[in-house]
Amino acid sequence: MQLSVKQKLAVHLLVVGSLVVMAVLSRFWLADWPNFKPVAAVALFAGFLLGQRWLTWLVPLAILLLSDSLLGFYEWPVMVSVYASMAVAVGVGMILKSRFQERTGIVLRMAGIALGSLVISIVFFLTTNAAVVLAGWYPLSLTGLVESYVAGLPFLRFTILGDALFSFGLFASYYAVLSGWESRQRMAQAAFQSTGSAVSEPRS
């Protein structure tokens, strides 16, 4: 049985909604792991799964607003940079969706996910560390910007590792479920055709 467009959208929204809840809770569960969160990966995956819909942009916004309202808000330049970098993650996910075709090999898909994950990690690093300079954590100068980036380097590895692991986990789960569904569809169709052929055979 093939799902209609509305049914597929409903399933996708249910999946993304569950991931939003998981991402919000992760900011509490993984509080001791700096920058090791699934938020960016969920934004990336939402952009891929939902495509170019206005609802897609609400995914990272919902995650950050819900968790920030509980954890506490912070300097607006830093907040803007965090929210903007998550929006970039959604955009990267949309690009992946437009590039991946049904016949795209697993190697190319893995490479695309890896590249997308690395891009969102670097964007987050560059934007947030520039924002803390604007927030007054470092001197508002080239020296202050360099100091900010140097101080942020130890956290970059956690960002890259977290984004990569969560991204591959989400996409691998998605393709595993999709492959299983398509396999069952083919088996059901083959069984139906076999039954139809047996019924239509003339009696001797």
Per-residue pLDDT tens over the stretch 126-180: 999 999 999 999 999 999 999 999 999 999 999 999 999 999 998 988 888 766 6
Q: Which residue has the higher pLDDT, 125 or 181?
A: 125
pLDDT class of 99 with cuts at 50, 70, 90:
confident
Report the largest interatomic distance among the alpha carbons of the chain, rounded to a whole angstrom: 94
- From the list 2, 26, 38, the residue with the least C-alpha distance to 173 is 38
Is pLDDT of 91 > 90? yes
CA distance 124 to 156: 9
Is pLDDT of 105 > 50? yes
Is pLDDT of 202 > 50? yes
CA distance 28 to 17: 18
- For 13-44, what is each residue's pLDDT tens digit? 788 888 888 888 888 888 778 888 899 999 99
Token pair, residue 137, equals 């954590």
pLDDT score of 154: 93
Average pLDDT of the residues in 83-106: 86
- For 42-84, what is each residue's pLDDT tens digit? 999 989 988 767 788 888 899 999 999 998 899 999 999 999 9
pLDDT class of 12 with cuts at 50, 70, 90:
confident
Is pLDDT of 204 > 50? no
Is the distance from CB of 138 to CB of 148 less than 8 angstroms? yes
pLDDT score of 54: 79
CA distance 87 to 76: 16
pLDDT score of 180: 63
pLDDT score of 55: 80
CA distance 89 to 23: 14
pLDDT score of 100: 76
Average pLDDT of the residues in 198-202: 53
84: burial class by Cβ within 10 Å (0-12, 13-18, 19+)?
Answer: middle
Is the distance from CB of 58 to CB of 20 less than 8 angstroms? no
